[in-house]
Chains A and B, each alone.
Chain A
Amino acid sequence: MNRPLEGLLVLEFCQFLAGPSAGLKLADLGARVIKIERPGTGDACRQLSIKNLFVEDDSLLFHTINRNKESYAADLKNPEDLAKLKQLIARADVMTHNFRPGVMEKVGLDYSAVQAINPKLIYGVVTGYGNEGPWANKPGQDLLVQSVSGLTFLSGSAIDGPVPFGLSVSDIMCGNHLAQGIMAALIKRAKTNKGVLVEVSLLESILDVQFEVITTYLNDGGKLPDRSSAKGSAHAYLSAPYGMYETLDGHIALAMGSLPNICSVIGCDITDLYVDANSAFDNRDQLINRLAVTFKEQNSKLWLDLLESHGIWSAEVLDYKSATALSNYEYLQIEQQLDLGKGKNIKTTVSPIRLDNEKLFASKAAPKLGVDTGVINKEFEIN
């Protein structure tokens, strides 16, 4: 298959999640991505494991983020290695890094320096909080960025205090934005034949994720989000019944819908709480609590059959075990096998984008540290 970014060479100086997740996206879209890693240690993510899961020397986490890439070992502080890297940069289309502000300037690989080596290079930079202001040198770590961004007042219920998203959402969205910026830059370069600087930060990305609710805040007299006190409420800005409800044997989710209609279907009397459409906002917490009592009386399947037969937007709340057993999970081909050699495999997810009717499968496993250095030196005649 003809992948759109075929023929493009990306050098990834990034570590951890944000930058490397962008590299993974570009790789799956057809680019050749070479990680530039410090000899001996490499991307710090190689040793950052979750649940202590390793695949040989590297964490499963590293494997998840860095499949479909190559690895070139070079020490930025070693003049010989730096000279080699400059030869490689001269041949690259894109380079990315997530060093703190000032580091690349010291090494001599900041944007203006590499423009002298390769005036057509796309240069992507990830920071935590941008290059200016009092936060510029703070550690760009996902939970901390979530915490300063106001995001933690959007999930859970009012009595919970701040509730962070249970995934590195700032990193992941920032990686998505970096990938977008780089591809836009490639399009620009195709017209101008000149290099482009692309900059993203975790904080700007997590603010962008909140663009709808921040816009509401900015135009509503600075009113802060008002999470429901009811258990299972799912959005501080949406009215009842939006949320998740416990049933006899599990939980179901209800999206937006007409309360009188839903309540007549499930047999729940809300006449004292629901006067008109505004009541869904005004009495949100009481309404959610009222519905919760009814839903608790039967099992999920009964409710879902009933709700779905009336066209009411609802779904079962699933854990990973039941979610990955869904017929649609298989139909969508969420999983792929990575080939570790010697008949060994690990399973992971596939790119979520389908192009020209094909899924973007890529069975190449993450590289061992520096495994491609020799081949790359030879190929690009670097000495």
Chain B
Amino acid sequence: MRPLEDYLVIDFSQFLSGPSASLRLADFGARVIKIERLGVGDICRTLYTSNLIMNGESSVFHAINRNKESFEVDLKSDEDKEIVRELLRKADVMIHNFRPGVMERLGFDYQSVLALNPTIIYGEISGYGTDGDWKGKPGQDLLLQSVTGLTSLTGNAGSGPVAMGLSIVDMLAGAHLAQGILACLYRKAIKNEGGFVQVSMMESAYDFQFETITTFMNDGGSLPERSQKNNANAYLGAPYGIYQTENGYLALAMGSIPVLGKLLDCEKLLDYTDIKEAFSKRDEIKAILADHLLTASTEQWLSVLEPADIWCADVLNWNALMAHDGFKALNMIQEVTMTDGYQYETTRCPIRIDGELLTSTKGSPKLGQDNERIIKEFIKQNTIADA
């Protein structure tokens, strides 16, 4: 039995933040119905990455929306609205990520939905909060990375701002929304109370930086300084970073510099005996390491460092990763099938419950594919019952 079996989630959200939260709830066992705009659907359906179109839709959409149903509606039509209201009366959770004010206009804001269903858990994601000067700004991942200082942490000192090359703020906001919803579902299971969960991408972006921003707050406001070369964390000393070798790369985490010098047979490193120098002289040390590590292969370095329990690793791309037995042991890839028979591979939920992988074979839905069934299941019965 999956933890959220028999729970119904009505998800109005688009793109990544909200839908990544409902994907997690789906993998935990909930039934997720996407409420999608007539004729268009979740805009993510046509948000292509690297021009890849899979069965008419973007690869990103397929990754985010597997294991869900699609209900296509016109939220401006009274008839369709009434159907959605009926779904909300039966729902345990509702999610949206419209800009502030939209749900009020459509009549699906928290107060309105609460009137339909007093024990519903209502989750919403905004870019910058639901009020205040910034509420109307676009809640887009790169813009959030940019305004929260996040782009000053990655890359080298001379690189200018460097973004994290994934929609990380969207995913964090989705993760936080899922947490708030799960906490409320637990409360509901115990006390039969509903709840109102609000997450903003901006708060999620700062939460992600809680260590570095707390350092900033308590360190007289000095800014993070990335190392000149081989930077991996602005706040950590040498050797922390990734280095080129004769045939590839090597990642080195924490480790004593003279000990490394000895193991790597690099005499220049033996002089850095004061532990504070690992930070204060990190550019110098990293430059020495970078030169030295070029002189042999990654495998040669690993064969010396690993037996000595130095924290190090090869740097792999996906080809090398997926060919590795360490990856294969995880069974991270699953194949899913859409209702029209189209199959694709994607990753599974990263969490294991009672030793089981939370896999699911259900692919993403075609726009409106479940309308008929949902109407029959939720609406017709009522009409018959009412009659």
| Cβ-defined contact, B155 with A156, below 8 A | yes
| Cβ-defined contact, A316 with B146, below 8 A | yes
| Cβ-defined contact, B179 with A179, below 8 A | yes
A211/B346 contact (C-beta < 8 A), A231-B160, A354-B197 known: yes
**Contact among B47, B210, B233 with A166 in the assembled complex (CB-CB below 8 Å):** B233
Bound-state Cα–Cα, A63 to B210, Å: 11
A95-103, A145-153, A258-266, A371-379 - interface stretch: A145-153
| Cβ-defined contact, B28 with A234, below 8 A | no
A161 CB–B CB distance under 8 Å: yes
| Cβ-defined contact, A147 with B159, below 8 A | no
B307 CB–A CB distance under 8 Å: no
CB distance from A338 to the nearest CB of B (A): 10
Chain A 124-165 interface residues, beta-carbon cutoff 8 Å to B: 129-130, 132-136, 138-139, 141-156, 160-165
Interface size class of A (residues with CB under 8 A): 35 or more
CB distance from A31 to the nearest CB of B (A): 9
**Contact among B175, B216, B326 with A129 in the assembled complex (CB-CB below 8 Å):** B326
| Cβ-defined contact, B179 with A180, below 8 A | yes
Chain B 290-316 interface residues, beta-carbon cutoff 8 Å to A: 311-316
A9 CB–B CB distance under 8 Å: no
Bound-state Cα–Cα, A142 to B242, Å: 12
| Cβ-defined contact, A187 with B50, below 8 A | no
List chain A residues, Cβ under 8 A from B186.
4-5, 183, 186-187, 190
B151 CB–A CB distance under 8 Å: yes
Count of CB-CB pairs between chains A and B under 8 Å: 479
List chain B residues, Cβ under 8 A from A211.
63-64, 346-347
Residue of A with least CB distance to B153: A166
| Cβ-defined contact, B184 with A181, below 8 A | no
A199 CB–B CB distance under 8 Å: yes
CB distance from A291 to the nearest CB of B (A): 15
B171 CB–A CB distance under 8 Å: yes
Bound-state Cα–Cα, A199 to B354, Å: 8
List chain B residues, Cβ under 8 A from A253.
142-143, 145-146, 151, 161, 163
**Contact among B142, B173, B211, B216 with A65 in the assembled complex (CB-CB below 8 Å):** B211
| Cβ-defined contact, A164 with B182, below 8 A | no
List chain B residues, Cβ under 8 A from A166.
153-155, 162, 164, 226, 231-234
A83 CB–B CB distance under 8 Å: no
Bound-state Cα–Cα, A187 to B181, Å: 11
Chain B 202-235 interface residues, beta-carbon cutoff 8 Å to A: 202-204, 206-219, 221, 223-224, 226, 231-235
| Cβ-defined contact, B59 with A155, below 8 A | no
**Contact among B146, B185, B195, B198 with A187 in the assembled complex (CB-CB below 8 Å):** B185
Which 8 A-B pairs have CB atoms at the shortest separation, nearest pair first? A133-B329, A166-B153, A135-B326, A154-B165, A237-B49, A215-B63, A183-B182, A147-B251
Binding site for B on A (CB under 8 A): 2, 4-5, 17, 25, 29-30, 50-53, 60-61, 63-65, 129-130, 132-136, 138-139, 141-156, 160-169, 172-173, 176-181, 183-188, 190-192, 196-201, 203-205, 207-220, 222-227, 231-232, 234-238, 242-244, 246, 251-256, 278, 281, 313-321, 323-324, 326-328, 331-332, 334-335, 346-349, 351-357
Q: Can you list 23 A-B pairs, Cβ within 8 angstroms, ordered by A?
A: A5-B183, A143-B251, A154-B165, A162-B242, A166-B154, A169-B208, A176-B176, A179-B179, A184-B4, A187-B185, A188-B353, A191-B189, A219-B62, A220-B52, A252-B146, A253-B145, A253-B163, A315-B144, A316-B146, A318-B149, A321-B221, A321-B223, A346-B217
Binding site for A on B (CB under 8 A): 1-4, 16, 24, 28, 47, 49-52, 54, 59-60, 62-64, 128-129, 131-134, 137-138, 140-149, 151-156, 159-168, 171-173, 175-180, 182-187, 189-190, 193, 195-200, 202-204, 206-219, 221, 223-224, 226, 231-236, 240-242, 244, 249, 251-254, 276, 279, 311-319, 321, 324-326, 328-330, 332-333, 344-347, 349-355
